[in-house]
Amino acid sequence: MNLQIKQEDHENTHHLHIGGEIDAYTAPQLREALLPLTGKEGHETLVHLSDVNYMDSTGLGVFVGALKSSKEHGSSLKLTGMTSRVQRLFEITGLDEVIDIEDVKGGSK
């Protein structure tokens, strides 16, 4: 199972485009890409998840870790473009209320 990560940086804003599957095997890869960004004070990280077709709870764990890191270092983290399957995971776990998730269906920004 594969994970693709593409990173674009515009000054203090970082875009991570994720594709493929986030599970126990690929989660460490995501963590390595994400945590250095959330550890930068004042920086903003946007994670684009529209090409993620599967995510399990280990993947959620990475975002929980990233959320804690961004709070600790005063950076911001936002997730966007998730499929309904992935969104359901965030809803069941209640993480949608603590993590900033952009609702693309609502057509914002």
Partner 1 sequence: MDDRDLQYQKYKAILVNYLEEQSEQTLYKGQQFSRKMIEQKISPEEAVSLHVSVLEELFPDIPEPLKNSYDFLLEMMIGYGFAYREHQSLRSRQQQLESEIEIAANMQQTLLAGDKPEVPSLEIGAISKPAQKMSGDYYHFVQDENDCVSVAIADVIGKGIPAALCMSMIKYTMDSAPEQRMQPGAVLENLNRVVEQNVDPNMFITMFYGLYDPRVHSFYYAGAGHEPGFFYDSQKDEFEELFTRGLVLGVSKKTSYQEYQRVLNGNDMVIMLSDGVTECRSTNGFIERDEIVALIRKYIHLSAQEIVEEVYRELERLQEFELRDDFTLVILRREV
Give the residues lining the site for partner 1 (CB under 8 A): 24, 31, 56-58, 60-62, 64-65, 67-69, 92-95, 97-98
The Cα-based distances of 21 to 13, 39, 56, 73 in angstroms read 24, 24, 9, 28
Query: How far, in Å, CA of 50 to CA of 58, rounded?
Result: 18
Q: How far is the CB of 32 from partner 1 (least distance, A)?
A: 12
31 vs 43, beta carbon nearer partner 1: 31
Selection from 55, 31, 58 nearest residue 45 by Cα: 31
Q: How far is the CB of 35 from partner 1 (least distance, A)?
A: 9
29 vs 58, beta carbon nearer partner 1: 58
Cβ–Cβ contacts within 10 Å for residue 53, how many? 13
* CA 63 and chain centroid, separation: 6
56 vs 102, beta carbon nearer partner 1: 56
Q: How far is the CB of 109 from partner 1 (least distance, A)?
A: 26
